[in-house]
Chains A and B, each alone.
Chain A
């Protein structure tokens, strides 16, 4: 299947979902007014990917800011990953946060407590 690549804007993140490598990355800011519109292609792509996932998928979420409207869509993305994980595929979500950004760490921990997929919190030190 094809990879999904979306160029970031001031309000939406860069997306690089590489089906060959099993490496999915979301990076930047996610603060659109209409987040459903932005995230729909990601969720659709994951639905396809779920049919033939790699034995191991690495997910890197590297967000500087995200709004509450994105937070639900990000949860939808994670729920798709959770269903792949349930089918005995290896999934690892790496949640990056900038040094001392406790709010972003806490946001990652919120997801970790809802979604049954291994999470790793990674602090980015300058």
Chain B
């Protein structure tokens, strides 16, 4: 059975959703999401620490999408924007937030991504700090602007393991989702 964006989106936005979006991930959208989430959290009187962590995670995960999204979707049947991505923020039972981002990734890149996340997930707090400082001090910012620090920063700020899935889509693409608990 093949993967369907509609079914996936319906399924992951079933919970206590603070915000759910599917469509183009552009600079304006990032502004709108950040603004909306900030005012929602303020209205809820959410704890300042959680608010800041969630905000930081959103900035990094949305900008990761923004910088890395594949702009061509060869053979993807659904009528999708070239910068298509998914973002869902939900509240879990224990007052935690779950941020899910989803996007199409070229199949050839899955190995690299998987190894990168597994590596980050395997590190202790101090090892993450060292890795962050090493990349900060030794690697140039890529043309895409990211610089490879986003996921490390997310792992440091949340102190939790990231979850991810690769859903086979077609010969060229998989649908990649990344779930972050705050």
Contact = CB atoms under 8 A, between A and B. Distances in A.
Interface stretch (A30-38, A53-61, A80-88): A30-38
Interface in B134-169: 136-137, 141, 145-147, 149-150, 152-153, 156-157
B40 interface: no
B30 interface: yes
B56 interface: yes
Contacts of A33: 27, 30, 63, 66-67, 145
A114 B137 contact: yes
The prevalent SS among residues of A at the interface is helix
Interface string A34-55: 1110000000000000000000
Contacts of B132: 110
A75 B137 contact: yes
B45 to A, nearest CB: 16
B63 A67 contact: yes
Contact of B59 (A65, A98, A100, A106): A65
Contact of B136 (A10, A67, A72, A98): A72
B38 to A, nearest CB: 10
Interface in B110-151: 129, 132-133, 136-137, 141, 145-147, 149-150
Interface of B: 27, 30-31, 34-35, 48-49, 52-53, 55-56, 59-60, 63, 66-67, 129, 132-133, 136-137, 141, 145-147, 149-150, 152-153, 156-157
Given A68-B60, A69-B141, 15 more contacts: A31-B34, A31-B63, A34-B145, A36-B141, A65-B59, A67-B59, A67-B60, A68-B150, A68-B153, A101-B49, A101-B52, A103-B53, A103-B56, A110-B136, A113-B133
Interface of A: 10-11, 31, 33-36, 65, 67-69, 71-73, 75, 98, 100-101, 103, 106, 110, 113-114
